[in-house]
């Protein structure tokens, strides 16, 4: 392995094989793991001298080519993982970019502080959350993650450390939040956490017979819920199209004791599915049958099981620790291994609310036409914000998850184009954090704020030091 020293604090570049979360392609890059701002400055100085481009990266949970920089440099900030300041009276927290959501909840939830716009993965870093402007099950209420950020420090291509907030540098703030890491390296973030009455939420589940019922419940529960998400059986058809269940949650206003160990356990990375089966061997054995024909019957079983448990008229509320509720995927760890060795694709169209139920129905029919029904399909509500290339809008997002194995590449390409064209026709957009196939033309139509984004990019990084495979695909 080639190692190139670039600073006095032992920061070095190492050639590594790199994949994004979906594992659909393999690249080779020079990867560096600085542990301080000084180390980051050294990386930027070295790359400018050598004519290399830099792609910032967090924990690697972006699905496609946003965090890839083939034959160039990846600056991995995961080792910059200190909570610098935490005020449990004000809710202000200052963190380095490699701090994870798990770290924040471990520090804050015992004192009844939460961080809004939290995604479903507790290992996601704050630097990555800003760059992707991530969202949670409360997006329709609390907005995307950028709305929880008060200020950040940005290392620019010129080597400057800028303090950026909405007042002092509005344009750069709007371009960096959701900006794919292309404005520079985020080296520090100041967050505003929110006081909640307890660390627990009451979760209610409603069985729904079709997508009409699903959207109706999501809309009806807006005012008395803090979180909501719908599971959709993408294989159901006819009058049952979009059947499934809606899960809502709200903070419990009561004093409930929380032991530190229970919180810590909820934030540990498990190796067993539901604490029982060893994850990796199970996913390896499941690969041959993890196909649409099998998922169709599993979904049917899941629907009727949930229907027996739940009543749409009288949903049973269940008290859950917030971290156990929000990070439910931790109970089924390493799920992406079932897609190996080819990986998977996820499309996440955001369809404007004005399209309503008919637009979501047509999207599900489109998936069926191409035999690309989503193996795992979630639906969430969103609201608009004003960041340049933010995945936001007053509408509904639908996750369309397909495996590569057993599929013809031409079919995948045709399906992707159909999804993108349909989303454009609806006036929507797709989530860049999960994309690797969108064309430059479609991207520019979906994200009209890209013009303002590029103007700021040209001002802050005129030589194009910060690039990625996604940036070159969509903007070069």
- pLDDT tens-place string over residues 110-150: 999 999 999 999 999 999 999 999 999 999 999 999 999 99
- Are the C-beta atoms of 83 and 191 separated by less than 8 Å? no
Could you tell me which residues come within 8 angstroms of residue 264 by beta carbon, excluding any fewer than 6 positions away?
106
Q: How far is CA 284 from CA 224, 337, 339, in A?
A: 42, 7, 9
Least confident range of 90-94, 224-228, 291-295: 291-295
Q: Which residues pair with 378 in a beta bridge?
A: 231
Place of tokens 């015992």: 110
Q: Which residues pair with 191 in a beta bridge?
A: 93, 149
- Are the C-beta atoms of 236 and 298 separated by less than 8 Å? no
For residues 199 and 3, the model is more confident at 199
Read off the tokens for 435: 């994309």
Q: How many CB atoms lie within 10 A of CB 232?
A: 27
Q: Rounded to the nearest 10 degrees, how much is the dihedral formed by the CA atoms of 133, 137, 143, 146? A: -30
DSSP secondary structure string for all residues of 227-249: EEEEEE-TT--GGGTT-EEEEEE
Mean pLDDT, all residues of the chain: 93
- Are the C-beta atoms of 372 and 402 separated by less than 8 Å? yes
Read off the tokens for 92: 């202000």
Among 118, 133, 119, smallest CA distance to 176 is for: 133
Cα–Cα distance for residue pair 4/22, rounded to 1 Å: 29
Read off the tokens for 430: 């797709």
Read off the tokens for 142: 């609390």
pLDDT per residue as tens digits for the range 319-364: 999 999 999 888 888 999 999 999 999 999 999 999 989 999 999 9
| Strand blocks (E) in 341-448 | 344-347, 349-352, 378-382, 395-398, 400-403, 429-430
Cα–Cα distance for residue pair 99/113, rounded to 1 Å: 17
Among 75, 80, 67, 45, smallest CA distance to 160 is for: 45
Q: How far is CA 440 from CA 351, 437, 443, 446, in A?
A: 20, 10, 5, 10
Q: Is 365 helix (H, G, I), strand (E, B) or coil?
A: helix
pLDDT > 90 in the chain, percent: 84
User: Rounded to two decimals, what is the model's pTM?
Assistant: 0.94
Q: Which pLDDT value is given to residue 1?
A: 45
| Strand blocks (E) in 134-221 | 149-155, 161-165, 185-192, 194-195, 200-208
pLDDT per residue as tens digits for the range 387-410: 999 999 999 999 999 999 989 989
- Are the C-beta atoms of 281 and 273 separated by less than 8 Å? no
Q: How far is CA 421 from CA 346, 349, 399, 414, in A?
A: 16, 11, 16, 11
Q: Which residues pair with 86 in a beta bridge?
A: 93
pLDDT over 80 (residue 2): no
**Average pLDDT of the residues in 421-426:** 98
- Are the C-beta atoms of 248 and 166 separated by less than 8 Å? no
Among 136, 91, 103, 105, smallest CA distance to 118 is for: 136
Q: Which pLDDT value is given to residue 309?
A: 72
Q: Which pLDDT value is given to residue 8?
A: 55
């Amino acid at each position: 392995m080639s190692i190139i020293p670039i600073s006095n604090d032992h920061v070095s570049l190492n050639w590594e094989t790199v994949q994004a979360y979906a594992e659909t392609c393999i690249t080779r890059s020079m990867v560096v793991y600085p542990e301080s701002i000084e180390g980051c400055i050294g990386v930027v100085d070295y790359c400018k001298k050598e004519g290399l481009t830099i792609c910032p990266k967090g924990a690697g949970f972006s699905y496609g080519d946003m965090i890839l920089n083939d034959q160039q440099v990846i600056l991995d900030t995961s080792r910059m993982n200190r909570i610098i300041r935490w005020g449990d009276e004000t809710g202000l927290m200052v963190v380095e970019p490699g701090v994870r959501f798990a770290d924040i909840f471990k520090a804050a939830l015992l004192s009844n502080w939460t961080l809004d716009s939290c995604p479903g993965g507790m290992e996601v870093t704050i630097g990555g959350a800003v760059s992707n402007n991530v969202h949670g099950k409360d997006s329709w209420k609390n907005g995307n993650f950028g709305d929880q950020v008060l200020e950040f420090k940005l290392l620019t291509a010129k080597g400057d450390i800028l303090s950026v907030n909405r007042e002092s540098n509005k344009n750069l703030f709007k371009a960096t939040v959701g900006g794919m890491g292309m404005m520079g390296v985020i080296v520090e973030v100041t967050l505003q956490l929110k006081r909640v009455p307890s660390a627990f939420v009451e979760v209610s589940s409603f069985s729904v017979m079709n997508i009409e019922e699903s959207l109706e419940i999501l809309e009806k529960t807006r005012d008395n819920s803090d979180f909501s998400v719908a599971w959709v059986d993408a294989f159901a058809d006819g009058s049952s199209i979009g059947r499934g269940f809606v899960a809502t949650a709200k903070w419990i206003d009561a004093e409930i004791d929380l032991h530190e160990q229970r919180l810590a356990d909820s934030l540990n990375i498990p190796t067993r599915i539901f604490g029982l089966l060893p994850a990796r061997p199970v996913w390896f054995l499941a690969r041959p049958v993890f196909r649409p024909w099998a998922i169709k019957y599993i979904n049917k079983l899941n629907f009727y099981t949930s229907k027996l448990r739940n009543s749409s008229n009288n949903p049973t509320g269940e008290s859950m620790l917030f971290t156990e509720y929000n990070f439910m995927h931790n109970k089924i760890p390493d799920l992406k291994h079932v897609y190996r060795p080819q990986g998977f694709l996820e499309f996440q169209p955001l369809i404007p609310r004005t399209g309503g139920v008919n637009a979501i129905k047509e999207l599900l029919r489109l998936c069926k036409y191409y035999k690309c029904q989503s193996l795992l399909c979630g639906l969430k509500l969103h609201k608009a914000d004003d960041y340049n290339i933010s995945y936001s809008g007053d509408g509904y997002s639908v996750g369309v998850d397909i495996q590569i194995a057993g599929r013809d590449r031409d079919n995948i390409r045709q399906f992707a184009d159909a999804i993108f064209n349909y989303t454009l026709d609806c006036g929507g957009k797709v989530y860049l954090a999960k994309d690797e196939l969108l064309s430059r033309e479609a991207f520019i139509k979906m994200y009209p704020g890209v013009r303002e984004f590029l103007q700021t990019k040209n001002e802050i990084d005129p030589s194009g030091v910060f690039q990625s495979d996604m940036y070159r695909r969509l903007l070069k």
